[in-house]
Amino acid sequence: MSDSCLEALERRVERQERWLRILICGWVVFGALTVCAFKIQSKVEQIGPSSMKVSELVVVDPKGVERVRIGGDLPDATINGKRVPRGEKAAGVLLYDTTGQERGGYVTWESGNVGLTLDTRKSQVALFAAGLEGSALVMWHGKDSVELRSDEDGSRITAVQNSSIVSQQPGTIKMSSSTCEDYRGARARVSPEQVMRDCQRRFANDVCRACLDQK
């Protein structure tokens, strides 16, 4: 073989070796980038999205029992297997015990009120609520209750036994005209006796009579 052919062959081998090194380097870089991409994706999946927009979120315990419900349109309560209407639509957070029984919540109602409720397995027994203006903290057992309230009628502490006030401080609380109108208007929905009983849980008997006996 002539010297010129040998030189040409050597140059061709060198070019092929150079291209092979470039190809190997390319595959190494590609492999490294692929590994990095998988690691980044894995971290993103572990972190999760920065925000979620859902209409309802339900959390269950290891036994599959529903323990927390967060929703924009919460269902009615179920107590002792019976459905108990909430009276109006509500949104917020509900808490359940190990049996799946609702035991309280932190909700806003369509009326504009917001409240924190606590329940036994039989019924609701405590309420801390804020209305459009006033607020109230109420705890009760059967027909007895203790109430701390501050609204347009004034600030007072009221103790109720057997659905009637036995103590209210200060004793000078008067019913505002708007509250009186609410009670009088309620007689179109429920009996006058029921309205009177509801009134007597918040105001002294003579105050309720002065409002509801008006013609």
CA dist list (Å): 101 to 12, 59, 61, 66, 151: 82, 14, 13, 9, 33
Extended beta strands in 52-200, E state: 56-60, 66-71, 77-79, 82-84, 90-96, 102-109, 114-119, 124-130, 135-141, 144-151, 154-161, 164-169
Confidence band (pLDDT; 50, 70, 90) for 17?
low
Neighbours of 77 (CB within 10 A): 19
Alpha-carbon Rg of the chain, whole angstroms? 36
Residue 163 has pLDDT above 80, yes or no: yes
The percentage of residues in the chain with a pLDDT greater than 70, rounded to a whole number, is 77
User: Per-domain residue ranges for the chain?
Assistant: 1-49, 54-132, 135-215
Closest to 158 (Cα-Cα) out of 150, 168, 149: 168
pLDDT at 150: 93
pLDDT at 172: 82
- pLDDT tens for residues 30-69? 666 666 666 766 665 666 667 788 899 999 999 999 999 9
pTM of the model: 0.66
Neighbours of 132 (CB within 10 A): 9
Q: How far is CA 123 from the centre of its chain?
A: 19
Higher local confidence (pLDDT), 17 or 186: 186
Under 8 Å between Cβ of 211 and 200: no
pLDDT at 77: 83
Give bridge partners of residue 84 from the DSSP assignment: 77
